[in-house]
Amino acid sequence: MSLTHDEWTAALEDGDLLGVRCTECGATYGTPFAVCNDCGGRDMETTELPEEGEVYTETTVQVPPTGFEGPYQVGTVELDGARVTARLEGDVDIGDRVAFDGVLDADEPAPVFRAE
Protein backbone atom coordinates (compact mmCIF):
# COMPACT_ATOMS: atom_id res chain seq x y z
CA MET A 1 0.00 0.00 0.00
CA SER A 2 1.31 3.42 -0.91
CA LEU A 3 1.67 6.42 1.37
CA THR A 4 -1.42 8.67 1.55
CA HIS A 5 -1.39 12.45 1.85
CA ASP A 6 -2.89 12.22 5.35
CA GLU A 7 -0.15 9.78 6.45
CA TRP A 8 2.54 12.01 4.89
CA THR A 9 1.12 15.08 6.67
CA ALA A 10 0.86 13.27 10.04
CA ALA A 11 4.46 12.04 9.75
CA LEU A 12 5.65 15.55 8.88
CA GLU A 13 3.85 16.98 11.92
CA ASP A 14 5.71 14.35 14.00
CA GLY A 15 9.02 15.51 12.52
CA ASP A 16 9.48 12.63 10.06
CA LEU A 17 10.22 13.06 6.35
CA LEU A 18 8.55 10.29 4.37
CA GLY A 19 8.38 9.62 0.67
CA VAL A 20 7.69 6.73 -1.66
CA ARG A 21 9.97 4.46 -3.67
CA CYS A 22 9.00 2.50 -6.76
CA THR A 23 9.75 -1.18 -6.17
CA GLU A 24 10.10 -1.74 -9.94
CA CYS A 25 12.73 0.90 -10.88
CA GLY A 26 13.83 2.41 -7.53
CA ALA A 27 12.74 6.00 -8.28
CA THR A 28 12.08 7.95 -5.08
CA TYR A 29 9.60 10.79 -4.55
CA GLY A 30 9.31 13.23 -1.66
CA THR A 31 5.51 13.22 -1.57
CA PRO A 32 2.83 10.56 -2.04
CA PHE A 33 2.51 9.15 -5.57
CA ALA A 34 0.30 6.26 -6.68
CA VAL A 35 2.11 5.71 -9.99
CA CYS A 36 5.84 6.04 -10.73
CA ASN A 37 6.57 8.93 -13.08
CA ASP A 38 9.71 7.15 -14.34
CA CYS A 39 8.45 3.69 -15.29
CA GLY A 40 4.68 3.73 -14.75
CA GLY A 41 4.93 1.12 -11.98
CA ARG A 42 2.13 0.99 -9.44
CA ASP A 43 3.94 -0.78 -6.60
CA MET A 44 5.08 2.14 -4.43
CA GLU A 45 6.41 1.62 -0.91
CA THR A 46 6.81 4.13 1.91
CA THR A 47 10.40 5.13 2.64
CA GLU A 48 12.13 7.44 5.10
CA LEU A 49 13.94 10.33 3.46
CA PRO A 50 17.28 11.72 4.60
CA GLU A 51 17.12 14.94 6.62
CA GLU A 52 19.96 16.63 4.74
CA GLY A 53 20.01 17.59 1.10
CA GLU A 54 20.82 20.19 -1.51
CA VAL A 55 18.77 23.16 -2.72
CA TYR A 56 17.61 22.31 -6.25
CA THR A 57 15.56 25.49 -6.88
CA GLU A 58 14.75 28.56 -4.81
CA THR A 59 12.87 31.82 -5.00
CA THR A 60 12.03 34.65 -2.64
CA VAL A 61 8.38 35.58 -2.14
CA GLN A 62 8.35 39.37 -1.89
CA VAL A 63 4.56 39.81 -1.75
CA PRO A 64 3.20 37.07 0.51
CA PRO A 65 -0.37 35.78 0.53
CA THR A 66 -2.75 36.84 3.29
CA GLY A 67 -1.70 35.39 6.63
CA PHE A 68 2.03 35.23 5.85
CA GLU A 69 4.79 37.73 6.53
CA GLY A 70 7.34 38.36 3.82
CA PRO A 71 9.70 38.30 2.27
CA TYR A 72 10.55 34.61 2.68
CA GLN A 73 12.34 31.94 0.69
CA VAL A 74 10.86 28.72 -0.71
CA GLY A 75 12.33 26.08 -2.94
CA THR A 76 12.83 22.47 -3.83
CA VAL A 77 15.29 20.38 -1.83
CA GLU A 78 16.78 17.23 -3.31
CA LEU A 79 17.17 14.38 -0.79
CA ASP A 80 19.02 11.48 -2.46
CA GLY A 81 16.95 11.81 -5.65
CA ALA A 82 13.62 12.68 -4.01
CA ARG A 83 12.54 16.31 -4.24
CA VAL A 84 10.54 18.12 -1.57
CA THR A 85 9.05 21.61 -1.80
CA ALA A 86 9.88 23.48 1.40
CA ARG A 87 10.31 26.76 3.22
CA LEU A 88 14.01 27.75 3.27
CA GLU A 89 15.65 29.56 6.17
CA GLY A 90 19.09 31.16 6.25
CA ASP A 91 19.40 32.88 2.84
CA VAL A 92 20.38 29.84 0.78
CA ASP A 93 21.24 29.52 -2.91
CA ILE A 94 20.89 26.72 -5.44
CA GLY A 95 23.46 24.03 -4.63
CA ASP A 96 23.71 24.89 -0.91
CA ARG A 97 23.46 22.10 1.66
CA VAL A 98 20.45 22.31 3.97
CA ALA A 99 19.04 20.28 6.86
CA PHE A 100 15.46 19.55 7.89
CA ASP A 101 14.55 21.95 10.69
CA GLY A 102 10.91 21.27 11.51
CA VAL A 103 7.54 22.18 10.13
CA LEU A 104 5.89 25.45 9.15
CA ASP A 105 2.57 25.46 10.95
CA ALA A 106 -0.07 26.67 8.51
CA ASP A 107 -3.35 25.28 7.17
CA GLU A 108 -1.27 22.46 5.71
CA PRO A 109 2.10 21.71 7.32
CA ALA A 110 5.19 22.26 5.18
CA PRO A 111 8.77 21.16 5.82
CA VAL A 112 11.37 23.79 6.73
CA PHE A 113 15.02 23.41 5.76
CA ARG A 114 17.83 25.57 7.17
CA ALA A 115 21.30 26.30 5.78
CA GLU A 116 23.91 23.99 7.29
Mean pLDDT, the chain cut into blocks of 10 residues (116 residues total) = 85 93 95 92 94 97 87 95 94 96 83 93
The dihedrals phi and psi of 91, each to the nearest 5 degrees, come to: 50, 70
pLDDT of residue 20: 95
pLDDT of residue 84: 96
| 93 burial level (CB within 10 Å; 0-12, 13-18, 19+) | exposed
- Provide the Cα torsion 26, 88, 51, 84; round to 10°: -20
Q: For the chain, how many structural domains are there in total? A: 2
| 22 burial level (CB within 10 Å; 0-12, 13-18, 19+) | buried
Structural domain range at position 93: 52-115
Q: Are residues 77 and 105 in the same domain?
A: yes
pLDDT of residue 1: 56
Q: Are residues 27 and 58 in the same domain?
A: no
pLDDT of residue 55: 98
Q: Are residues 59 and 36 in the same domain?
A: no
pLDDT of residue 48: 95
Q: Are residues 34 and 57 in the same domain?
A: no
Q: Are residues 59 and 102 in the same domain?
A: yes
The model's pTM is 0.88
Q: Are residues 27 and 72 in the same domain?
A: no
